[in-house]
Amino acid sequence: MTTPTFPDPTLSLADPAGEIERLARRIEQAEAEVAALRAERDRALNAIATLRNETFFDLARSAERNDGESPLHTARIGIYTSLIATELGYPEDQCALLESAAQLHDIGKIGIHSSILSKPGPLTTAEWKMMREHPRIGASIIGDSEVPLLRLAAEIAMTHHEHFNGIGYPLGLAGEAIPLAGRIVGLADFFDALTHDRSYRKALPVDQVLSMISERRGEQFDPRVVDAFMRIFEQIEEVREQLVEQEAFGEAAEWDGPWWMLY
Ligand SMILES: [Fe+2]
Ligand SMILES: [Fe+2]
């Protein structure tokens, strides 16, 4: 784009109408060039944002894997969260945002040493203390963003271990002071973690986990969230079974590359 100079040396006062038309065309051309530059800038910003989000999702998945979670744990939490939110009357666009943001809930585990995450036995008090830092670490990794997805993800990362009765961590919030997104993800994460194997224990039967959730209604979990979860449990179970099957199929698939690539 050329920068106009004033007064324009090529300005012809002999033909003012023609000159006005010529100037109007130049303005139009300049506006088109500005619009093209803006579109190019927006494309570049979108590409950076997509790359940044993918990095967050990769980090969250690898943090969960270090903690012995199965590869589809984050995807399951996202879907359960969005199903519960739909049942609670969240608008569709909010549910979609929650489905993505919930997947970053445990991103802070990336800051916890793997000797703690993959310890086969129970943790010591000091190790628990470190483990309980993962919500703060997660929120600080995601940062103080203006982007709605990341703002929600940071809120969930910080509050998904708060208990409705106020004895959770790290802030000790109670009741409605815990953001609803954190209350929903807390329940989804509890259900999913307990219905899958971990390094230090086997998966519990689904019925047992449901009883544990009912026992904790109004204590660890928001009664409204528990009721919504129970109402749509058939859908939750359908998703769980589908994803477990998909995971088992992925892991059982035979390695079809050359044998030496395994070493
Ligand atoms: Fe967590
Ligand atoms: Fe998790």
Largest CA distance in the chain: 93
67 lies in some domain: yes
For 47-67, what is each residue's pLDDT tens digit?
Answer: 998 888 888 888 888 888 887
Q: How far is the CA of 163 from the centre of ligand 2 (A)?
A: 16
Domain count, the chain: 1
Please, which residues bridge with residue 221 across strands? 217
CA 169 to ligand 1 centroid distance, Å:
10
At how many degrees (to 10) do helices 73-87 and 92-101 cross?
150
User: Which ligand has its closest atom nearest to the C-alpha of 63?
Assistant: 2
In a domain, 132, yes or no: yes
Banded model confidence at residue 255, pLDDT cuts 50, 70, 90:
very low
Tokens coding 100: 């993505």
What residues sit around ligand 1, an ion, with C-beta below 5 angstroms?
A: 106
User: Rounded to whole angstroms, how far apart are CA atoms 249 and 251?
Assistant: 6
Query: What's the domain range around 216?
Result: 40-250
For residue 241, the surrounding DSSP H or E stretch is helix 233-252
- pTM, two decimals, is 0.82
Ligand nearest to the CA of 135: 1
Q: Has residue 165 been placed in a domain?
A: yes
49 Cα–ligand 2 center, Å: 24
Query: What tens digit of pLDDT does each residue of 132-162 get?
Result: 999 999 999 999 988 999 999 999 999 999 9
Residues with CB under 5 A from ligand 2 (ion): 106, 189
Q: How far is CA 144 from the centre of its chain?
A: 15
Check whether 3 has a pLDDT greater than 70: no
More confident residue, 10 or 39: 39
Of 79-93, 144-158, 241-255, the range with the lowest mean pLDDT is 241-255
CATH number, domain of 119, equals 1.10.3210.10
Q: For residue 206, is it within any domain? A: yes
Asked whether residue 185 is assigned to any structural domain, the reply reads yes
Residue 222 has pLDDT above 50, yes or no: yes
Higher pLDDT among residues 171 and 61, named by residue: 171
Of 91-105, 114-128, 133-147, 149-163, which range is least confident?
A: 114-128
Domain annotation covers residue 240: yes
Q: What burial class does residue 209 get, using C-beta atoms within 10 Å of its C-beta: 0-12 exposed, 13-18 middle, 19+ buried?
A: middle
Assigned domain for 27 exists: no
Per-residue pLDDT, 258: 52
Computed over every residue of the chain, the mean pLDDT equals 89
